Structure 1
Protein backbone atom coordinates (compact mmCIF):
# COMPACT_ATOMS: atom_id res chain seq x y z
CA UNK A 1 0.00 0.00 0.00
CA UNK A 2 1.40 3.40 -1.01
CA UNK A 3 1.09 6.33 1.32
CA UNK A 4 0.04 9.72 0.01
CA UNK A 5 2.98 12.06 -0.54
CA UNK A 6 3.75 14.55 2.15
CA UNK A 7 2.45 18.10 1.63
CA UNK A 8 4.63 20.36 -0.51
CA UNK A 9 6.66 22.98 1.39
CA UNK A 10 8.98 24.62 -1.14
CA UNK A 11 11.59 24.18 -3.85
CA UNK A 12 14.91 25.91 -4.48
CA UNK A 13 17.36 25.43 -7.34
CA UNK A 14 20.78 26.41 -8.57
CA UNK A 15 22.71 25.83 -11.79
CA UNK A 16 26.12 24.24 -11.36
CA UNK A 17 28.85 24.33 -13.98
CA UNK A 18 30.06 20.76 -13.58
CA UNK A 19 29.33 17.20 -14.69
CA UNK A 20 26.49 15.31 -12.95
CA UNK A 21 28.95 12.91 -11.25
CA UNK A 22 30.87 15.87 -9.83
CA UNK A 23 27.66 17.50 -8.58
CA UNK A 24 26.58 14.18 -7.04
CA UNK A 25 29.88 13.89 -5.14
CA UNK A 26 29.64 17.53 -4.02
CA UNK A 27 26.05 16.99 -2.84
CA UNK A 28 27.15 14.13 -0.58
CA UNK A 29 30.02 16.19 0.82
CA UNK A 30 27.80 19.21 1.45
CA UNK A 31 25.15 17.09 3.20
CA UNK A 32 27.79 15.45 5.39
CA UNK A 33 29.21 18.86 6.32
CA UNK A 34 25.79 20.44 6.98
CA UNK A 35 24.16 17.65 8.95
CA UNK A 36 27.16 16.29 10.85
CA UNK A 37 28.16 19.47 12.64
CA UNK A 38 28.00 19.55 16.45
CA UNK A 39 25.14 22.09 16.19
CA UNK A 40 23.15 19.74 13.93
CA UNK A 41 23.82 16.81 16.27
CA UNK A 42 22.46 18.77 19.23
CA UNK A 43 19.41 19.83 17.23
CA UNK A 44 18.46 16.30 16.11
CA UNK A 45 18.71 15.12 19.70
CA UNK A 46 16.62 18.02 20.97
CA UNK A 47 13.72 17.45 18.54
CA UNK A 48 13.96 13.64 18.76
CA UNK A 49 14.97 12.69 15.21
CA UNK A 50 14.70 9.00 14.37
CA UNK A 51 18.10 8.93 12.62
CA UNK A 52 20.84 10.58 14.67
CA UNK A 53 24.10 9.28 13.24
CA UNK A 54 26.06 9.12 10.01
CA UNK A 55 26.10 5.67 8.47
CA UNK A 56 26.34 3.90 5.15
CA UNK A 57 28.42 4.45 2.06
CA UNK A 58 29.53 7.81 0.73
CA UNK A 59 28.48 9.22 -1.66
CA UNK A 60 25.12 8.23 -0.19
CA UNK A 61 23.24 5.14 -1.26
CA UNK A 62 19.80 3.88 -0.24
CA UNK A 63 19.88 3.35 3.52
CA UNK A 64 22.72 5.80 4.18
CA UNK A 65 21.95 8.17 7.03
CA UNK A 66 22.76 11.72 8.02
CA UNK A 67 21.65 13.11 11.38
CA UNK A 68 17.93 13.71 10.86
CA UNK A 69 17.67 11.89 7.52
CA UNK A 70 17.75 8.49 5.81
CA UNK A 71 18.34 8.08 2.06
CA UNK A 72 15.34 6.31 0.53
CA UNK A 73 16.25 6.92 -3.12
CA UNK A 74 19.79 7.26 -4.40
CA UNK A 75 20.31 7.26 -8.17
CA UNK A 76 23.86 8.55 -8.71
CA UNK A 77 23.98 11.68 -10.83
CA UNK A 78 20.16 11.94 -10.91
CA UNK A 79 18.24 11.91 -7.62
CA UNK A 80 18.71 11.66 -3.88
CA UNK A 81 15.65 11.57 -1.63
CA UNK A 82 16.06 11.83 2.11
CA UNK A 83 13.31 11.23 4.65
CA UNK A 84 13.12 11.79 8.36
CA UNK A 85 10.86 12.30 11.32
CA UNK A 86 10.95 13.77 14.78
CA UNK A 87 8.51 14.81 17.50
CA UNK A 88 7.00 17.66 15.45
CA UNK A 89 7.25 16.61 11.80
CA UNK A 90 7.63 13.92 9.16
CA UNK A 91 9.56 15.24 6.17
CA UNK A 92 11.32 14.54 2.88
CA UNK A 93 14.07 16.39 1.02
CA UNK A 94 14.47 15.44 -2.66
CA UNK A 95 17.48 16.57 -4.68
CA UNK A 96 17.19 16.22 -8.44
CA UNK A 97 19.98 16.77 -10.96
CA UNK A 98 18.85 17.77 -14.46
CA UNK A 99 20.77 18.76 -17.61
CA UNK A 100 21.00 22.55 -17.98
CA UNK A 101 23.13 22.79 -21.11
CA UNK A 102 26.63 21.61 -21.97
CA UNK A 103 28.66 21.10 -18.79
CA UNK A 104 25.88 22.41 -16.55
CA UNK A 105 23.46 20.77 -14.13
CA UNK A 106 20.35 22.23 -12.55
CA UNK A 107 20.19 21.04 -8.93
CA UNK A 108 16.70 21.25 -7.42
CA UNK A 109 15.87 20.73 -3.75
CA UNK A 110 12.21 20.03 -3.01
CA UNK A 111 10.93 19.91 0.57
CA UNK A 112 7.78 18.16 1.74
CA UNK A 113 6.56 17.82 5.30
CA UNK A 114 3.64 17.19 7.61
CA UNK A 115 3.39 18.99 10.96
CA UNK A 116 0.75 17.22 13.04
CA UNK A 117 -0.90 18.63 16.12
CA UNK A 118 -0.53 21.98 17.86
CA UNK A 119 3.20 21.54 18.50
CA UNK A 120 3.70 20.65 14.83
CA UNK A 121 1.84 23.81 13.84
CA UNK A 122 4.06 25.89 16.11
CA UNK A 123 7.19 24.16 14.81
CA UNK A 124 6.13 24.88 11.20
CA UNK A 125 5.63 28.53 12.06
CA UNK A 126 9.09 28.75 13.63
CA UNK A 127 11.01 26.83 10.95
CA UNK A 128 9.09 27.44 7.71
CA UNK A 129 7.15 30.61 8.51
CA UNK A 130 10.17 32.56 9.78
CA UNK A 131 12.23 31.66 6.68
CA UNK A 132 15.04 29.70 8.31
CA UNK A 133 14.34 26.56 6.27
CA UNK A 134 14.53 28.47 2.97
CA UNK A 135 17.73 30.23 4.03
CA UNK A 136 19.41 26.98 5.07
CA UNK A 137 18.32 25.21 1.88
CA UNK A 138 19.75 28.02 -0.28
CA UNK A 139 23.01 27.87 1.70
CA UNK A 140 23.19 24.12 1.19
CA UNK A 141 22.71 24.47 -2.58
CA UNK A 142 25.36 27.21 -2.71
CA UNK A 143 27.74 24.91 -0.83
CA UNK A 144 27.14 22.14 -3.38
CA UNK A 145 27.75 24.59 -6.22
CA UNK A 146 31.03 25.87 -4.69
CA UNK A 147 32.31 22.35 -4.03
CA UNK A 148 31.44 21.13 -7.54
CA UNK A 149 32.88 24.18 -9.33
CA UNK A 150 36.15 24.40 -7.42
CA UNK A 151 39.24 23.81 -9.56
Structure 2
Protein backbone atom coordinates (compact mmCIF):
# COMPACT_ATOMS: atom_id res chain seq x y z
CA UNK A 1 0.00 0.00 0.00
CA UNK A 2 1.68 3.25 -1.06
CA UNK A 3 1.40 6.10 1.42
CA UNK A 4 2.31 9.69 0.51
CA UNK A 5 4.14 10.32 3.79
CA UNK A 6 7.54 9.42 5.24
CA UNK A 7 7.99 6.47 7.64
CA UNK A 8 8.26 8.92 10.56
CA UNK A 9 4.62 9.90 9.89
CA UNK A 10 3.37 6.46 8.85
CA UNK A 11 4.67 4.64 11.96
CA UNK A 12 2.53 6.61 14.45
CA UNK A 13 -0.47 6.19 12.12
CA UNK A 14 0.13 2.44 12.09
CA UNK A 15 0.40 2.23 15.86
CA UNK A 16 -2.79 4.30 16.27
CA UNK A 17 -4.66 1.96 13.96
CA UNK A 18 -3.54 -1.28 15.63
CA UNK A 19 -4.49 0.07 19.05
CA UNK A 20 -7.80 1.47 17.86
CA UNK A 21 -11.21 -0.12 18.21
CA UNK A 22 -11.46 -1.13 14.54
CA UNK A 23 -8.41 -3.41 14.75
CA UNK A 24 -8.67 -5.09 18.10
CA UNK A 25 -11.05 -7.92 18.73
CA UNK A 26 -13.42 -7.33 21.58
CA UNK A 27 -12.40 -8.94 24.84
CA UNK A 28 -15.67 -10.89 24.75
CA UNK A 29 -14.87 -12.31 21.30
CA UNK A 30 -11.31 -13.05 22.46
CA UNK A 31 -12.70 -15.01 25.43
CA UNK A 32 -14.98 -17.04 23.14
CA UNK A 33 -11.98 -18.04 21.03
CA UNK A 34 -9.71 -18.44 24.09
CA UNK A 35 -7.36 -15.94 22.43
CA UNK A 36 -4.00 -15.22 23.97
CA UNK A 37 -3.35 -12.57 24.94
CA UNK A 38 -6.92 -11.83 25.94
CA UNK A 39 -6.32 -8.24 27.06
CA UNK A 40 -4.45 -5.18 25.96
CA UNK A 41 -1.58 -3.94 28.11
CA UNK A 42 -2.74 -0.43 27.15
CA UNK A 43 0.87 0.60 26.70
CA UNK A 44 2.69 2.01 23.67
CA UNK A 45 3.25 -0.41 20.80
CA UNK A 46 6.66 -1.73 21.79
CA UNK A 47 8.09 -5.24 21.89
CA UNK A 48 6.34 -7.15 24.67
CA UNK A 49 3.16 -5.06 24.72
CA UNK A 50 -0.17 -6.78 24.15
CA UNK A 51 -3.29 -6.02 22.16
CA UNK A 52 -6.45 -8.11 22.39
CA UNK A 53 -5.52 -11.28 20.49
CA UNK A 54 -1.94 -10.16 19.76
CA UNK A 55 1.44 -9.85 21.41
CA UNK A 56 3.92 -7.37 19.97
CA UNK A 57 6.72 -9.79 19.11
CA UNK A 58 8.87 -7.13 17.44
CA UNK A 59 8.45 -3.39 17.06
CA UNK A 60 11.14 -1.56 15.12
CA UNK A 61 9.94 2.02 14.79
CA UNK A 62 9.46 3.16 11.20
CA UNK A 63 10.41 -0.34 9.90
CA UNK A 64 8.55 -3.37 11.23
CA UNK A 65 5.69 -4.40 13.47
CA UNK A 66 5.33 -8.13 14.11
CA UNK A 67 2.23 -9.27 15.99
CA UNK A 68 1.68 -12.86 17.14
CA UNK A 69 -1.15 -14.64 18.87
CA UNK A 70 -3.13 -17.81 19.21
CA UNK A 71 -6.56 -19.10 20.01
CA UNK A 72 -8.31 -22.43 20.14
CA UNK A 73 -8.21 -22.84 16.34
CA UNK A 74 -4.88 -21.35 15.25
CA UNK A 75 -1.54 -19.72 15.90
CA UNK A 76 -0.87 -16.66 13.78
CA UNK A 77 1.47 -13.82 12.96
CA UNK A 78 0.86 -10.51 11.22
CA UNK A 79 3.93 -8.68 9.91
CA UNK A 80 3.56 -5.04 8.88
CA UNK A 81 6.62 -3.63 7.15
CA UNK A 82 7.40 -0.05 6.16
CA UNK A 83 9.76 0.71 3.29
CA UNK A 84 10.78 4.25 2.40
CA UNK A 85 10.45 5.13 -1.28
CA UNK A 86 11.02 8.37 -3.19
CA UNK A 87 7.45 9.63 -2.83
CA UNK A 88 6.65 8.26 0.64
CA UNK A 89 6.36 4.84 2.21
CA UNK A 90 5.14 1.44 1.14
CA UNK A 91 3.33 -0.44 3.89
CA UNK A 92 3.02 -4.18 3.37
CA UNK A 93 1.31 -6.89 5.37
CA UNK A 94 2.00 -10.62 5.53
CA UNK A 95 0.07 -13.14 7.54
CA UNK A 96 1.25 -16.55 8.66
CA UNK A 97 -1.08 -19.02 10.38
CA UNK A 98 -1.33 -22.65 11.38
CA UNK A 99 -4.76 -24.15 11.92
CA UNK A 100 -5.21 -27.17 14.17
CA UNK A 101 -7.54 -30.08 13.56
CA UNK A 102 -10.96 -30.28 11.99
CA UNK A 103 -12.24 -27.22 13.85
CA UNK A 104 -9.15 -25.29 12.74
CA UNK A 105 -9.82 -26.26 9.12
CA UNK A 106 -13.41 -25.06 9.43
CA UNK A 107 -12.26 -21.80 11.02
CA UNK A 108 -9.72 -21.35 8.19
CA UNK A 109 -12.49 -21.75 5.61
CA UNK A 110 -14.64 -19.25 7.48
CA UNK A 111 -11.95 -16.58 7.85
CA UNK A 112 -9.50 -17.18 5.00
CA UNK A 113 -11.69 -18.98 2.46
CA UNK A 114 -14.42 -16.37 2.68
CA UNK A 115 -11.99 -13.53 2.00
CA UNK A 116 -12.81 -11.87 5.34
CA UNK A 117 -9.16 -11.81 6.37
CA UNK A 118 -8.08 -10.08 3.16
CA UNK A 119 -10.81 -7.49 3.62
CA UNK A 120 -9.77 -6.84 7.23
CA UNK A 121 -6.09 -6.41 6.33
CA UNK A 122 -6.93 -4.11 3.41
CA UNK A 123 -9.11 -1.99 5.69
CA UNK A 124 -6.23 -1.72 8.15
CA UNK A 125 -3.80 -0.64 5.42
CA UNK A 126 -6.28 1.89 3.99
CA UNK A 127 -6.88 3.29 7.50
CA UNK A 128 -3.12 3.68 8.01
CA UNK A 129 -2.83 5.53 4.68
CA UNK A 130 -5.79 7.79 5.45
CA UNK A 131 -4.43 8.58 8.93
CA UNK A 132 -0.87 9.25 7.72
CA UNK A 133 -1.99 11.40 4.80
CA UNK A 134 -4.32 13.42 7.03
CA UNK A 135 -7.50 12.52 5.17
Q: Pick the TM interval, shorter chain.
A: over 0.9
* Aligned equivalent of 2:12: 25
Q: Of the candidates 6, 23, 26, which is equivalent to residue 35 of structure 1? A: 23
Instruction: Point out which structure has higher relative CO (alpha carbons under 8 A, 6+ apart).
Output: 1
| 2:28 equivalent to 1:54 | no
Aligned 8 A contact 1:35 1:67 in 2: no
**Structural RMSD (CA):** 1.3
| TM-score, length basis structure 1 | 0.84
Unmatched runs of 5 consecutive residues or more in structure 1: 1-13
| TM-score, length basis structure 2 | 0.94
* Aligned equivalent of 1:113: 97
Q: CA deviation at 1:50?
A: 1.1
- Alpha-carbon distance in 2 for matches of 1:115, 1:73: 22
Q: Secondary structure at the match of 2:26?
A: helix
Query: Which consecutive aligned stretches of 4+ in structure 1 deviate over 6 angstroms post-superposition?
Result: none
* Aligned equivalent of 1:89: 74
- Alpha-carbon distance in 1 for matches of 2:7, 2:51: 22
Equivalenced residue count is 134
Unmatched runs of 5 consecutive residues or more in structure 2: none
Aligned 8 A contact 1:55 1:65 in 2: yes
Q: CA deviation at 1:42?
A: 2.4
Listed one character per residue, the Cα deviations across residues 35-81 of structure 1 (whole Å, up to 9, x for unaligned) are: 34xx63222111110112111532x1101111000011110000000
- Alpha-carbon distance in 2 for matches of 1:111, 1:28: 17
| 2:129 equivalent to 1:142 | no
| 2:117 equivalent to 1:133 | yes
